[in-house]
A and B are shown apart, each in its own frame.
Chain A
Amino acid sequence: MSQFFDTIFKPEFVFAIIRITSPILFAALASVIAEKAGVVNIGLEGTMMISALFGTLISFWTQSWLIGVLGALVVGILLGAMMGFFALRLRTNIILVGIALNILGSGGTVFLLYLFTGMRGNTSSLSSPNILIPTWNIPLLKDIPVVGAMFSGHAVLTYVAFILVFVVWFLLYKTSLGLNIRAVGENSNAARSVGISVQRIQYIALMLSGALSGLGGAFMSMYYSQSWNTGIVAGRGFIALAAQAMGRGEPVGTMFSSLLFGTAQALETRVSGIQGVSSYLVASIPYVVTILGLVLYMLSAKRKVRRLHQKLKNRQDAEQRT
């Protein structure tokens, strides 16, 4: 047990949580935007896989990590647009489009990798430091003991992910585009009746969603792992869907639920180093935490409903009395 606390009360633990959370957060925010516009984007995993591959390839071709990241972003946008084309224009069920994209992400990427490089499975021999996303040692902060070790020295994209939480919030609640997105998601008929082009808004939402998951993909192959390999995203796109649902589709809430998933996984890696703990048991930690999280979420939602109910009743009583 003391071993457990030793490893938890280390700045490295918090550092790990933030690092594990970053890719999940990108994809979860992507899901938030799509969901707000009333489209379900379950193709996050596939989008991340494909952008991760192109991030690596483009950065290798141009020998510039920045162009690689932008390339991954553009590929994400294109994939979002492609989803839009199939789901909105051709009226395919969007869940099916998402599934197709995920399959493309797992099988198609291997094909593309082979097509472009002749490599199979992974790109580890392409990697070199100048094509990886650099880390940022924040001046001043990095010199503060403990706190510096927690929050300084992350990949540039990690900071971008957390900044994007507020950018997405701002976009959704403080801009007219955000208002349109929410209106379309809330009630597309009502939105249409006031002259909003539902299809256009949903296209934009899917493309924004693609852009965000594209960044998540770049994070995976250009920083987290220093090369791309088959299956590299390993389900993070699906965890992001859960994080979005648990965060009630709100940017800030989603950030906290992403952090919860990140914490669960960080715990898993630490606990597996403790004497006498079965690896099978350890592997279940993220799932147990998810269930606990959902239970807490349900309880709080229930209490909220009860409180609203009570309020309503009080008001009715008051009205009756008068």
Chain B
Amino acid sequence: MKKVLLLALSLVLVLGLVAVPAFAEEEAKVYNVANLVNGNLGDKSFFDSADAGLAELQEAGRITYKTIEMGGRDEDQPKWLETLYEVSESGEYDLIVCGTYQMPDYLTEVAAEYPDQKYLIYDSAAEGDNVVNINYKQNDMGYLVGIVAAAMTTETDIDFINEDAVVGFVGGVDSPVINDFLYGFLLGALSVNEDIKVDTRYVNSYVDPGKAKELGASMIADKNVDIIWGVAGNSGNGAAEAALESGKAWFIGVDSDQELTLSEELAAITLTSGLKNIGNSLIWFFDELDAGNEHYGESILLGLPEGGVGIVTDKNFDEFAPDSVKELVLEAEEKIAAGELEVPTAIGEVSTELEELRDSLQP
């Protein structure tokens, strides 16, 4: 009897030893995520990036998710709110993800109604203790783009490139957000070439490519600009068109890989694009969650170290950029990621530094 008991006890012990780690592994929770897209997949931009990030997490067995495409028309807007309410009401999801500047008002409203439901919004900011806002460090991105532009503007072996060390920046509006891109761009360019000149001009509209085209054309004709970074929403395409028409300049895209979204001809002169990696930022968020860091109620800025921003390094960049430029970019990426280099921001503190820098670099 004693023996049997002993055997049973040791069996329990052994089983326990085996079972405990197995149990612990199960405790790494598999989250159920709803991904609300206020548009459609296939945008080759934010929505596709978010979906790709979630798919990667699902593949790794860390989440299960469902993407709901709500349509992007004005007429669809009531549906966005309705869908938000529905998925919140269902209580099936551990996290509801949405994004873009069009969602924060809806999300703020719904998040207040369902305090126990958790939400994440990317590239925008809503309110609520149960909401995490994820935004991206444009200045980090700008720094990398600045390095590429300044390093390549003197590589006269490459098509369209002239010997003058002048590059261009076409911004949407003279505002802190756009200037945050600019600040990084200027500093990145300076880090490569002390004598660099940056022609900065603003369209004063995000929807007027015609005017952006005139700005780009003037930069190319008057200042010998051979690489233009367009950070101006739809207007930015106008700068690309100016470069294409002149046959004397390259364009650099922003936010998403514009080599994929522009027409073939424009893509051919798009050297690279500054990226907001929505997908990476979602993976970062779940890494944090698993590490026990809940960020609900916080506004988080993700930069290079977290993989939140970056630049496109395949396609045209891979083909045309000399190895020295690729190395410079890698080096800077590593430095910023390691925290050795911190790119200042134009958001928040009101400072004249950026303006002085901008003026001093204007050709």
Task: Using CB atoms and an 8 Å cutoff, list the residues of chain A in contact with chain B.
Answer: 6-7, 10, 12, 16, 19-20, 23, 107, 110-111, 114, 118, 120-122, 124-129, 220, 224-227, 229-232, 234, 265-266, 269-270, 272-276, 278-280, 283
Residues of B148-179 whose CB lies within 8 A of A: 174
A86 to B159, CA, bound (A): 56
In the complex, which of the residues A10, A16, A227, A280 contacts B214, with contact meaning CB atoms closer than 8 Å? A16
Q: Using Cβ atoms and an 8 Å threshold, which residues of chain A touch B73?
A: 110-111, 114, 120
A287 to B223, CA, bound (A): 26
- B248-282 toward A: CB 8 Å interface, digit per residue (1/0)? 00000000000001111110000000000000000
Assuming A114-B72, A121-B234, A265-B211, what are 9 further A-B pairs, CB within 8 angstroms?
A: A12-B217, A124-B261, A126-B263, A127-B265, A129-B265, A229-B207, A234-B205, A279-B202, A280-B174
Among B75, B211, B219, B363, which residue has the most Cβ atoms of chain A within 10 A? B211
When C-beta atoms are compared, the residue in chain B nearest to A220 turns out to be B210
Given A232-B207, A273-B362, A19–B214 Cβ distance below 8 Å?
Answer: yes
When C-beta atoms are compared, the residue in chain A nearest to B209 turns out to be A225
Q: Do B209 and A269 have beta carbons less than 8 Å apart?
A: no
Q: Do B266 and A226 have beta carbons less than 8 Å apart?
A: yes
Q: Using Cβ atoms and an 8 Å threshold, which residues of chain A touch B264?
A: 128
Q: Do B214 and A231 have beta carbons less than 8 Å apart?
A: no
Q: Do B211 and A234 have beta carbons less than 8 Å apart?
A: yes
Residues of B36-52 whose CB lies within 8 A of A: 39-40, 43
Tell me how far the C-beta of B240 lies from the nearest C-beta in chain A, rounded to whole angstroms: 9
B53 interfacial contact with A, CB 8 Å: no
22 contacts between A and B (CB under 8 A): A12-B222, A111-B75, A114-B71, A121-B72, A124-B266, A125-B263, A126-B263, A225-B210, A225-B238, A225-B241, A226-B263, A229-B237, A231-B207, A234-B207, A265-B214, A270-B218, A272-B201, A273-B201, A273-B215, A276-B359, A278-B174, A283-B204
Q: Do A232 and B209 have beta carbons less than 8 Å apart?
A: yes
A276 to B200, CA, bound (A): 11
Tell me how far the C-beta of B203 lies from the nearest C-beta in chain A, rounded to whole angstroms: 9
Q: Do B208 and A232 have beta carbons less than 8 Å apart?
A: yes
When C-beta atoms are compared, the residue in chain A nearest to B74 turns out to be A107
Among B72, B241, B263, B266, which residue has the most Cβ atoms of chain A within 10 A? B263
Q: Using Cβ atoms and an 8 Å threshold, which residues of chain B touch A118?
A: 40
Q: Do B207 and A226 have beta carbons less than 8 Å apart?
A: no
Q: Using Cβ atoms and an 8 Å threshold, which residues of chain A touch B199?
A: 273
When C-beta atoms are compared, the residue in chain B nearest to A123 turns out to be B263
A230 to B207, CA, bound (A): 7
Q: Using Cβ atoms and an 8 Å threshold, which residues of chain A touch B221?
A: 10, 12
- B217-233 toward A: CB 8 Å interface, digit per residue (1/0)? 11101110000000000
In the complex, which of the residues A6, A234, A278 contacts B210, with contact meaning CB atoms closer than 8 Å? A234
B213 interfacial contact with A, CB 8 Å: yes
Tell me how far the C-beta of B42 lies from the nearest C-beta in chain A, rounded to whole angstroms: 8
A126 to B339, CA, bound (A): 42
Q: Do B263 and A122 have beta carbons less than 8 Å apart?
A: no
Q: Do B237 and A6 have beta carbons less than 8 Å apart?
A: no
Tell me how far the C-beta of A55 lies from the nearest C-beta in chain B, rounded to whole angstroms: 14
Among B43, B75, B201, which residue has the most Cβ atoms of chain A within 10 A? B201
Tell me how far the C-beta of B71 lies from the nearest C-beta in chain A, rounded to whole angstroms: 8
Among A114, A266, A276, A280, which residue has the most Cβ atoms of chain B within 10 A? A114
Q: Using Cβ atoms and an 8 Å threshold, which residues of chain B touch A20?
A: 210, 214
In the complex, which of the residues A19, A110, A232 contacts B74, with contact meaning CB atoms closer than 8 Å? A110
A97 to B214, CA, bound (A): 33
Q: Do B75 and A227 have beta carbons less than 8 Å apart?
A: no
In the complex, which of the residues A7, A127, A275 contacts B362, with contact meaning CB atoms closer than 8 Å? A275
Tell me how far the C-beta of B279 lies from the nearest C-beta in chain A, rounded to whole angstroms: 20
Q: Do A232 and B210 have beta carbons less than 8 Å apart?
A: yes
Among A118, A121, A125, A273, which residue has the most Cβ atoms of chain B within 10 A? A273
A100 to B101, CA, bound (A): 27
The 7 closest A-B pairs by CB, nearest first: A231-B207, A225-B209, A234-B208, A127-B263, A229-B234, A12-B221, A120-B72
Q: Using Cβ atoms and an 8 Å threshold, which residues of chain B touch A129?
A: 265
Q: Using Cβ atoms and an 8 Å threshold, which residues of chain A touch B211?
A: 234, 265, 269
Tell me how far the C-beta of A248 lies from the nearest C-beta in chain B, rounded to whole angstroms: 27
Among B43, B207, B210, which residue has the most Cβ atoms of chain A within 10 A? B210
